[in-house]
């Protein structure tokens, strides 16, 4: 699942493949960009901003993309077979003489002036893996609504950018508090911010995301994706439930024994 670490890795991969070279092919397969052509323009850089990707090209233009749940960018050599999915799922192709970047299942793809990037990312809080990281500002934003459940506050990219569903559940477990605990009742909330930064930094260069310090596939994460299985710390079955406002619910995983606070909804 793409979260801040995945997007950071994708940006590094795209930057190495495209930056400093002119595009010899530009194919943007969304209706509103059907006539847009970036061929001949040099790619200046590819940078991540939370879960957003900004590909900046000559002429003051930025191609903005977002992976959401299952989008991806893949990079291929000149003679390499494309393996990211069927051709009808391709939304973007950017090619230099040496590499081709192919965007699959991209739910967000738009071309804008680089000077207008704030229109799409200006609302984001401090980026956990970005040069703008400011733990004090992230903490201030998190605590601005003290009655909000912790899990919801962590997912709100306006508070701090880069946390998705996996890190939300894992952070709550590491702090030993329920995802339904109001953020204002979290003891030492600065530890929450520090843990978030530490986790994403530890995983930004890993192929497999790990929060437990164990490399075995079935023991890499404490609670996420483990409904009904024994908690790795105490053996209690891990629970899962939807959390969030109607229409914006996301699955949350937690251990009812290890994590103190509101128990969450009862299993249906």
Question: pLDDT, tens digit, for every residue of 171-201?
Answer: 999 999 999 999 999 999 999 999 999 999 9
Q: State the CB neighbour count (10 A cutoff) for residue 21.
A: 14
Q: E strands within 12-81? A: 25-28, 43-49, 52-57, 61-66, 72-76
The tens digit of pLDDT for each residue in 66-82 reads 999 899 999 999 989 99
- Which spans in 43-188 are helix H? 118-121, 135-142, 150-155, 165-174
Q: Tell me the percentage of the chain whose pLDDT exceeds 90.
A: 90
- Give the whole-angstrom CA distance, residue 149 versus residue 224: 18
Instruction: Judge whether 85 and 12 are in contact, CB under 8 Å.
Output: no
pLDDT-based confidence at 211, cuts 50/70/90?
A: very high
215 has a pLDDT exceeding 60:
yes
What are the tokens at 87? Answer: 């051709």
pLDDT-based confidence at 2, cuts 50/70/90?
A: confident
Q: How far is CA 262 from CA 25, 177, 251, 265, in A?
A: 54, 9, 16, 9
Q: For the chain, which domains are there?
A: 4-122 (3.20.190.10), 135-254 (1.10.8.50)
| Three-class DSSP category at 48 | strand
Supply the pTM of this predicted model.
0.93
Q: What is the mean pLDDT of the chain?
A: 95
Q: State the CB neighbour count (10 A cutoff) for residue 105.
A: 15
| Three-class DSSP category at 213 | coil
The tens digit of pLDDT for each residue in 130-168 reads 998 999 999 999 999 999 999 999 999 999 999 999 999
- Give the whole-angstrom CA distance, residue 231 versus residue 253: 11
The tens digit of pLDDT for each residue in 27-77 reads 999 999 989 999 999 999 999 999 999 999 999 999 999 999 899 999 999
Phi and psi (nearest 5°) for 113?
-70, 140
Q: How far is CA 27 from CA 61, 72, 101, 103, 128, in A?
A: 15, 16, 11, 10, 32
20 has a pLDDT exceeding 90:
yes
| Catalytic residue numbers, as ranges | 2-3, 51, 250
Q: What is the pLDDT of residue 86?
A: 96
- Give the whole-angstrom CA distance, residue 10 versus residue 184: 34
Q: Tell me the percentage of the chain whose pLDDT exceeds 70.
A: 99
The tally of CA atoms less than 13 A away on the side-chain side of residue 3 is: 25
- Give the whole-angstrom CA distance, residue 117 versus residue 63: 10
């Amino acid at each position: 699942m793409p979260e801040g670490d995945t997007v950071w890795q994708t940006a590094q991969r795209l930057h190495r493949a495209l930056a400093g070279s002119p595009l010899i092919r530009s194919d943007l397969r969304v209706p509103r960009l059907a006539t847009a052509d970036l061929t001949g323009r040099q790619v200046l850089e590819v940078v991540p901003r939370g879960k957003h990707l900004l590909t900046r090209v000559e002429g003051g233009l930025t191609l903005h993309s977002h992976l959401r749940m299952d989008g991806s960018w893949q990079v291929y050599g000149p003679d390499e077979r494309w393996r990211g999915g069927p051709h009808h799922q391709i939304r973007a192709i950017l090619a230099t003489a040496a590499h081709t970047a192919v965007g699959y299942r991209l739910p967000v793809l738009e071309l804008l002036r680089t000077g207008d990037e704030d229109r799409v990312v200006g609302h984001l809080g401090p980026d956990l893996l970005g040069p703008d990281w400011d733990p004090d500002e992230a903490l201030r934003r998190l605590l601005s609504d003290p009655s909000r459940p912790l899990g919801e506050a962590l997912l709100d990219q306006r508070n701090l950018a880069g946390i998705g569903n996996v890190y939300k559940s894992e952070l709550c477990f590491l702090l030993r508090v329920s995802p339904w605990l109001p953020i204002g009742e979290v003891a030492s909330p600065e530890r929450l911010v520090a843990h978030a930064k530490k986790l994403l930094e530890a995983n930004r260069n890993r192929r497999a995301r790990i929060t437990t310090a164990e490399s075995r596939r079935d023991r890499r994460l404490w609670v996420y994706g483990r409904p009904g299985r024994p908690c790795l710390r105490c053996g209690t079955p891990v629970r899962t439930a939807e959390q969030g406002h109607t229409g914006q619910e996301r699955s949350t995983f937690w251990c009812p024994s290890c994590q103190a606070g509101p128990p969450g909804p009862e299993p249906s």
